[in-house]
Amino acid sequence: FKFLHIAFLVPAAKALGFALALAESFLGILLVTGLWRRLVAILSAAFLGFFTVVTALLAIFNPPMDCGCFGQAIHLSNLQTFVKNIVLDALWCYAFLPFRAFASPGKIKYAPSGIAAISISLFAVHSILGIPMMDFSAFNAGAEVQQEDALLTLCDSEGRYLDTLDFRGRIILSSVYDPLKMDREDFEKLNRVLNAAKAAGYATMQLYAAAPEQLPGKDCYAVDRRTLMTLNRSNGGLVYVSDRQIIRKWSFNNLPDASELEELYGKNPTEEMLSRTVKDRMRMQGFLLYVFAVMLLL
């Protein structure tokens, strides 16, 4: 939006991005199942045409940004993004030209298309309200909080940068990248969990996207907003760090209780991280296989 000089739409970026991702997913379902092929041909041409123009502008002016086509999973240069769209345009021509009447696959395909659309919608809501099953960010489970390509730089209430802060031991980090969107009850909820973490034996640190003089108290640090959003996409979420290594994350909507924190403290951190990572990857792969099986086999 900023590149296209329509920055007034920035407050709606998250909602529009979510809607666009769902729209593209639904269009993909129709492409796979073969429903409404004439309408799908027109809609997919509109999508591809619009994004080909946008990516052409990105390739020409080459601003220092990522198009975000594949989120954090795959990063493409502006030129690579444009070439990708040209390839998709060619595939569209092969699939839909000459543009004539298309045969219908039959009403039986309405059921799997509907099931797939509902499943993807529920999955999207689950992901946006919680923590993604697969985290492709630099601060994913298993990564270190002080690595060369992703440095968690903190600043204390006196404005001193703590680049060399040692994240030894077991630490629960709270991550608030938009304090204005959290009310008093939200902060009280977060503080109760942090107090429970202290009682269970963890050290705690509160990270805010705020000026140093705005920090609420002890063990509070100012961190760059974008860095905090990468660390935990949930505003008010928690990150469990053990000896610099990220073990687990929670969204604000699914914060752990005291018993869960105590149980987790008794487990080997690395084994817990590996076990949860494997389970999440299996869930993600299982979901994808389920959706494609519904579309292709029914």
Contact 172, 240 (CB under 8 A): yes
Q: Express each pLDDT in 189-245 by its tens digit.
A: 999 999 999 999 999 999 999 988 889 878 899 999 989 999 999 999 999 999 999
Provide, rounded to the nearest whole percent, the portion of the chain with pLDDT above 90.
Answer: 62
In angstroms, the Cα distances linking 206 to 133, 255, 257 are 24, 15, 18
Average pLDDT over residues 46-74: 85
Which pLDDT band, with edges at 50, 70 and 90, does 72 fall under? confident
User: Which pLDDT value is given to residue 151?
Assistant: 77
* pLDDT value, residue 90: 96
What is the pLDDT, as a whole number, of residue 145? 86
Question: CB-based contacts of 106: which residues, under 8 Å, 6+ apart?
Answer: none
User: How high is the pLDDT of residue 147?
Assistant: 67
pLDDT at 101: 66
Mean residue pLDDT of the chain comes to 90
Residue whose C-alpha is closest to residue 249's, from 87, 155, 74, 132: 132
78 Cα distance to chain centroid: 21
The radius of gyration of the chain's CA atoms, rounded to the nearest angstrom, is 23
Whether the predicted pLDDT of 7 surpasses 90: no
Residues in the chain: 298
- pLDDT for 163-179, tens place per residue? 667 788 999 999 999 99
Q: What is the pLDDT of residue 264?
A: 96
Q: 167 near 145, Cβ under 8 Å?
A: yes
Measured CA to CA, the distance from residue 89 to residue 297 in angstroms comes to: 28
Task: With a cut of 70, say whether residue 149 has pLDDT above it.
Answer: no
How many Å apart are CA 252 and CA 228, to the nearest integer?
14
Candidates 56, 63, 107, 102; CA nearest to 81 is 56
Cα–Cα separations (whole angstroms), residue 86 to 26, 47, 48, 54: 22, 13, 9, 12
Say yes or no to pLDDT of 296 above 70.
yes
pLDDT over 90 at 65, yes or no: no
Distance CA 92, CA 98 (A): 11
The pTM assigned to this predicted structure is: 0.87
SS3 assignment, position 192:
helix
More confident residue, 138 or 107: 138
pLDDT at 164: 61
Q: How far apart are CA 197 and CA 260, in angstroms?
A: 10
